[in-house]
Each structure stands twice: as C-alpha cells, then as structure tokens.
Amino acid sequence: MELLAELRKHILNSPLKIKADNLLTFANDGQITSHQGDLNAHFSIRYDAKIIVTDYTDHADMLFFIVLQWLAANNANHETTPIRFNADIIDHKTADVELILTLEENVGANLVEGGMQLVHNGVKPIDICPLSATNWELYIHPDPDPVASWVEAGE
C-alpha cells in the first residue's frame, strides 16, 4: 500500500499544515488480482483508501484540490468522480473530514539472480506550486480574499 503512504506524505507536505496526529489513513476492502501466466507473476492491489483529517479548520475545497492533484498524477485508473467524503461538523470553524477513494497499485514480479524482485508502480512527485511558482495563493470565488497561501521554503 505504497500509494496510500505517499498520499499521506503529500497531504502532510502540502500548504494545509495538517499535523501527522490529525491525519489517519486506512486501507479497506482490499483485493488482489493475479496477472500470472507462464512467465508472469505480476499482480495488482486495489483498495479503498480512507483518509480522515481531524479538527480540520481550512476550507474543504483546499483538501479536495490537494488530493485530486495527487490522484491525477499517481492513480491513472481513477474514475471521474474518485472521491467520496463524510464530514462531522464540530463547530462553525472545525470539522472532521473523511475522504474515501479507490487506489490501485500494479506490482511487477521480476526474476533476478537469487530470487524475485517485487516492484511497485512509481509515484510521481507533484509540484504543489503551479507553474513552479515560489509563492501562490488559493481563492474560492466569489470571495476576494485568499483562503490559503504558499511560500516556498527559503523565501
């Protein structure tokens, strides 16, 4: 479940400033599909990734954007509506947000000297700042004030 671990890392490194203690991740309803043939031991892992952000205080659109950005680059088989969600509204500023999305990982089983090597499909790094910008702001129309800003480290 390398994709789920990488998605978790992507969320923690995002401008959302979510703390690790507030980010819970689970893999549910997993399924393994064998692609074995005469000389093939490859397989796929497909599961529902459940991501829970507790005590979330930012706009939900920001969390959705960060996850969709990563998903488009790293889960090519995703559906056009890949994320389901639930929210527990704690007060007018805070919520617990649960995202559920299906992830699929292809695992190659390659014969090497002395045994087999299992290789997961690679995770593509995502540039959170569009167009390699070092500073950017996120607006949610029609509000003229930014809901988030990002300044690259060292700026």
In a domain, 132, yes or no: no
Residue 24 counted as domain residue: yes
Higher pLDDT, 123 or 94: 94
Is the residue at 149 inside a domain?
A: no
Q: Is 136 within a domain? A: no
DSSP 32-79: EEE--BTTB--EEEEEEEEEEEEEE-S-HHHHHHHHHHHHHHH-TT--
Range of the domain at 82: 2-121
> Per the domain annotation, does 133 fall within a domain?
no
Q: Is residue 154 part of a domain?
A: no
Enter the pTM of the model: 0.76
**Domain membership flag for residue 134:** no
| Residue-wise pLDDT tens digits, 46-101 | 899 999 999 999 989 899 989 988 888 887 666 666 789 999 999 999 999 999 99
Number of domains making up the chain: 1
Q: What is the CATH classification number for the domain harbouring 108?
A: 3.30.2000
